Amino acid sequence: MGLTWHVARQNQILCFKFCAAHPDKRKSFALGRPMPLSSSSATAYHAAGLITFFALGAAPTPIYRLYQEAWGFSPLTLTLVFGIYAVALLASLLTLGSLGDHLGRRPAIALALVLQILSLTLFIEADGVPMLLAARIVQGISTGIAGSSFGAALMDSSPSRGPGLNSMAPLFGLTVGIVLTGVLVQFAPFPTRLVFVLMLLACLGLLLLLARVPETVRHPRRPPLAALLPRIAIPEAARRPLLLGTPIIVTVWATGGLYLSLMPSLLRAATGSSSALVGAGAVSLLTLFGLLGTRVARRLHTGQILRLGALCLSIGPLVVLAGVALGSMPVIALGSAIAGLGFGGSFLGVMGWVMPLGGAEGRAGLLSAFYVISYLAFCVPAMLGGLAAGEFGLVPAICGYLLGLSALGATALATAWRR
């Protein structure tokens, strides 16, 4: 009894000392609430959340072939499953993207996590295309909310590191999602379900930990209806630069759309390899060299970034095309790496060129215009590629897609010189 009293007394003394040293934590101790995370831990939480959501967006890519074999759907249906996600994400960004500003970061993140858990449950239980489409729609909505809320929370918790983390987390997340799924599909049991079970557990962990994340919106309030309506407005000073930058934006996102939808199927047809790691490797090369491209771009001025990025985007698809003709995976990998350098640097360059021209009041409307151009370029060319594959065959259709990307890259290079 005396020993128990002594231990309890020592714990009480330690609590008093901690509260004296950290006055901001006293309320949590008094009310028995979970201890809030430090600023650096909160930054790590938000970065991990952003990476997780983008990893989940890319996770189905190595599995599409298995779905196609099991359910016998066409390349057009495959690109529809891919494209519906991008459309849902765009709609969510334009309508629900500001929820975190009104309700607070934590409620918006909680909503995104709950919706993502629902989408993962649909993936796990999917037994056909309709449920797969439903899963991708819910996933797109959740990612739209999460992308803006986690991104804004990163800026709140670390204004100095937030911009860099926001630019790198999506590409890093795409790489993690593709590689992880490729490895699990190739070597683990339950290839169409296991990755979603693991990601569901990760989302549950993020949801439980959210109780300890400090809220950074001081006065949350119910959003007015007008705040949920899309507002697309291009300030006059930004109109011509945005028009000149559109070929670069379209090339970047159309390249990403091809790799995340049809590239694994193309590699299987061109090289004869049925390994999930081959498709995952090519896509991850694009995103990894995209990360490298963003790092290189930070050392160059805007004109250099745009010209170098557009050059890589025009050359990379031609090298991939040569690799397809030769049936050579190393040549395809080289082309993917070259395209990846342009993929990462070009979009960063055009954002750095155009966004400052919007001013503080016009930035939101200009960013919405960026979203519309980007996500339409992400899904529409891929869906047209799927339609062409049904008419002309997969390899001829994607070869035409690659030639189109190279032509767009050349157009982007011409506009970059005119800047």
pLDDT in tens, 83-110: 999 999 988 888 887 777 778 888 889 9
Determine the longest span between alpha carbons in the chain, in angstroms.
85
Where are the alpha helices (H) located in 59-214, listed in sequence order?
A: 64-71, 75-96, 99-103, 105-125, 129-157, 162-187, 194-209
Statement: residue 309 has pLDDT above 60: yes
User: Residues 105-115, buried b or exposed e (16+ Cβ, 10 A)?
Assistant: bbbbbbbbbeb
Q: How far is 345 from 136, CA to CA, in rounded Å?
A: 28
Residue 363's pLDDT is: 64
Q: 310 vs 37, which has greater pLDDT? A: 310
User: pTM higher than 0.85 for the full model?
Assistant: no
Q: 14 vs 253, which has greater pLDDT? A: 253
Q: How far is 258 from 283, CA to CA, in rounded Å?
A: 9
List of long-range contacts for 123-130, beta carbons under 8 Å, 24+ apart: 123/60, 123/193, 123/196, 124/193, 124/196, 124/197, 124/200, 126/192, 128/71, 129/71, 129/73, 129/77, 129/81
Q: What is the CA radius of gyration of the chain?
A: 23
Query: Other CB atoms closer than 10 Å to residue 85's CB: what's the count?
Result: 27
pLDDT in tens, 311-344: 999 999 999 999 999 989 999 999 999 999 998 8
Domain boundaries, the chain: 42-217, 234-419
Q: How far is 118 from 112, CA to CA, in rounded Å?
A: 10
Tokens of 324: 């397809």
Q: How far is 193 from 114, CA to CA, in rounded Å?
A: 19
Percent of the chain with pLDDT over 70: 85
Q: How far is 83 from 383, CA to CA, in rounded Å?
A: 7
Length of the chain in terms of residues written: 419
Q: 273 vs 361, which has greater pLDDT? A: 273
What fold, for 42-217? Growth Hormone; Chain: A; (1.20.1250)
Q: Burial level of 362, CB count in 10 A (0-12/13-18/19+)?
A: middle
pLDDT in tens, 168-207: 788 888 889 999 999 999 999 999 999 999 999 999 999 9
Residue 300's pLDDT is: 84
- DSSP summary character for residue 32: T
Instruction: Look up the CATH superfamily of 234-419.
Output: MFS general substrate transporter like domains (1.20.1250.20)
pLDDT band at 32 (very low <50, low <70, confident <90, very high): very low
Residue 361's pLDDT is: 60
Where are the alpha helices (H) located in 298-393, listed in sequence order?
A: 302-326, 329-354, 359-392
- 102 closest CA partner among 222, 226, 230: 222
Q: Do domains 42-217 and 234-419 have the same CATH topology?
A: yes
Q: How far is 222 from 409, CA to CA, in rounded Å?
A: 44
Average pLDDT in the chain:
84
**Cβ 39 vs Cβ 158: under 8 Å:** yes
pLDDT in tens, 106-144: 888 999 999 999 999 999 999 999 999 999 999 999 998
